[in-house]
Amino acid sequence: MIPPWQYEQLVRDALREDAPFGDPFGEALSGNGKGVFLARREGIFCGGPVAKEVFRRVDPSVAVLFVPEGRRVAAGDCLGDASGPVSALLRAERTALNFLQRLSGVATATSLFADKIMPYGTRLLDTRKTTPLLRNLEKYAVRVGGGTNHRFSLSDGILIKDNGIRAAGGVAEAIAVARRAAHHLVKIEVEAETLAEVEEAVAAGADAVLLDNMKPATVREAVARFGGEVFLEASGGIHLGNVEEYASTGVAAIAVGAITHSAPAFDISFEMTS
């Protein structure tokens, strides 16, 4: 479950964005009502706690109930319901749906990859290619969908990519800079595009190597040569059509930016029933 502090401010800001001066139509209505959330496709449900906070923030008297996080649902399934003042239901529905559709979309995209590589014991990792200010929520959705989080920020660990290598003057130089800058508990990962670069990174003392845009056969060779010395992850050019082939190489992890930056919204509707 995701702790409330990771989304409470986001919910406040989202509601302010959606109705900065209130909802003149909704506020003109009186009485109570009820609505249901319906899935329009198959996938993984995610975001219930955040959507609940949306309704609570609008009106604490609204009662909201959702199916458990991570449940696999089908088109037409009821995902939850909300009941209370009609004005509050109308005020909260779009913001709640925006969160639900985004997070369920990420969880569903993640599950498609995770299901394919599960038999191989390979970890599915996310990246920092996330929506600004939504990283905590999107990485939570990755976990719900069966993935594993890579570092959350630049502060969490050092991943030296091509521009960093160029800026430092080479792989060995970049690792040396990183060792001087980081405390002893921080691991250092280096991006490599060729087996020669992998060998150089390992020789220079990298803790992990990101195999960038390598063909599965090259990844397999990297695993055979260096898998016992450092943590290896593959990334770049990996999609649903080839992710299983990459997993079969024995690589420890596969990082896929698309599970966050390109995940389509999961189609969910909120329909008033009374």
Contact 47, 131 (CB under 8 A): no
- Check 34, 56, 71, 129 and give the catalytic one: 129
Of 260, 262, 266, 9, give the one whose Cα is nearest residue 143.
260
Please tell me the predicted confidence (pLDDT) of residue 260: 98
CATH fold of 115-261: TIM Barrel (3.20.20)
Angle between helices 48-58 and 86-117 (to 10 degrees): 170
The answer to whether 69 is a known catalytic residue is no
- Mean pLDDT over each residue of the chain, to the nearest integer: 96
Residues of the chain with CATH 3.20.20.70: 115-261
pLDDT digit string, tens, across residues 181-239: 988 889 999 999 999 999 999 999 999 999 999 999 999 999 999 999 999 999 999 99
Q: Give the pLDDT band (50/70/90) at residue 251.
A: very high
CATH of 4-112+264-272, one of 3.40.30.10, 3.90.1170.20, 3.40.640.10, 3.40.50.150: 3.90.1170.20
- Check 53, 93, 126, 191 and give the catalytic one: 191
Please tell me the predicted confidence (pLDDT) of residue 1: 82
Residues of the chain with CATH 3.90.1170.20: 4-112+264-272
Please tell me the predicted confidence (pLDDT) of residue 34: 97
Rounded to whole angstroms, the Cα distance separating 16 from 261 reads 25
- Check 207, 212, 233, 244 and give the catalytic one: 212
pLDDT digit string, tens, across residues 18-30: 999 999 998 999 9
Q: Give the pLDDT band (50/70/90) at residue 168.
A: very high
- Above 80 in pLDDT, residue 264? yes
- Check 12, 16, 161, 166 and give the catalytic one: 161
- Above 90 in pLDDT, residue 274? no
Please tell me the predicted confidence (pLDDT) of residue 234: 98
Residues 94-105 have a mean pLDDT of 98
The answer to whether 129 is a known catalytic residue is yes
The answer to whether 187 is a known catalytic residue is no
